[in-house]
Amino acid sequence: MSKDFNEILDVKVETQQVIDPNIFVNQSMLEQINNNNEKVFYANSLFQIVSSIITAPLTTIHTSLQLSIKAHKDLYGLNQNNPESSTQLVKTTRDIQPHEKRKFELLLKSGMVGQNKPFTAPVYGSYHETIQGLAKQGILGFYKGNFLGLVHLLLNGNFKLQFLSTLDYRMDSFWHYGSELSKAMIVLLICSAIDFTTNPIQLLQSRFIIQNRLPNFYIYKSSIRAVKKHLTNQKEFFRGGSGHLYKNLFVLLSQLPIGQIQQKYHHIYFFLTSNIFAYPWITVIRRLQAQSALPGLIPIRYGSPIHAMKLIINEEGMKGLFRGFGAYMAIQGFFDYMLISRRLNQY
Look over the chain and give the mean of its residue pLDDT values, rounded to a whole number: 77
- Please tell me the least confidently modeled range out of 86-100, 205-219, 228-242, 267-281: 86-100
Query: Residue 67 in 3-state DSSP?
Result: coil
pLDDT of residue 47: 81
Q: How confident is the model at residue 27 (pLDDT cuts 50, 70, 90)?
A: low
pLDDT of residue 82: 46
Q: How confident is the model at residue 12 (pLDDT cuts 50, 70, 90)?
A: very low
Higher pLDDT, 195 or 234: 195
Nearest one of 147, 171, 164 to 224, comparing CA atoms: 147
pLDDT surpassing 60 at residue 296: yes
The fraction of the chain above a pLDDT of 70, given in percent, is 67
Higher pLDDT, 51 or 57: 57
pLDDT of residue 204: 94
pLDDT of residue 49: 86
pLDDT surpassing 70 at residue 25: no
pLDDT of residue 6: 46
**Residue 233 φ/ψ region, left for φ over 0, alpha for ψ in the -120 to 50 degree band, beta for the rest:** beta
Name every residue whose Cβ is closer than 8 Å to that of residue 316 and which is 6 or more positions away in sequence. Answer: 69, 70, 71, 323
Scanning the chain, the segments in alpha helix (DSSP H) are: 5-10, 27-66, 73-76, 86-92, 101-109, 127-135, 146-170, 173-177, 180-197, 199-210, 223-229, 243-254, 266-290, 305-316, 325-346
Enter the DSSP assignment of 168.
H
pLDDT surpassing 80 at residue 144: yes
Higher pLDDT, 214 or 88: 214
| Residues 137 and 144: beta-carbon distance below 8 Å | yes
Nearest one of 207, 205, 67 to 146, comparing CA atoms: 205
Q: How confident is the model at residue 36 (pLDDT cuts 50, 70, 90)?
A: low
Start-to-end CA distance of the chain, whole Å, equals 31
- Please tell me the least confidently modeled range out of 164-173, 261-270, 272-281, 299-308: 164-173
pLDDT of residue 91: 47
Q: How confident is the model at residue 300 (pLDDT cuts 50, 70, 90)?
A: confident
pLDDT of residue 347: 55
**Residue 324 φ/ψ region, left for φ over 0, alpha for ψ in the -120 to 50 degree band, beta for the rest:** left
The fraction of the chain above a pLDDT of 90, given in percent, is 33
- Please tell me the least confidently modeled range out of 18-27, 160-169, 176-185: 18-27
Identify the bridge partners of residue 291 per DSSP, sorted by sequence position.
Answer: 298
Give the model confidence (pLDDT) of 68-127 as tens digits.
Answer: 886 655 444 444 444 444 445 444 444 555 555 555 554 444 444 343 333 445 678 889
Higher pLDDT, 251 or 4: 251
d(CA 5, CA 227): 59
**Residue 216 φ/ψ region, left for φ over 0, alpha for ψ in the -120 to 50 degree band, beta for the rest:** left
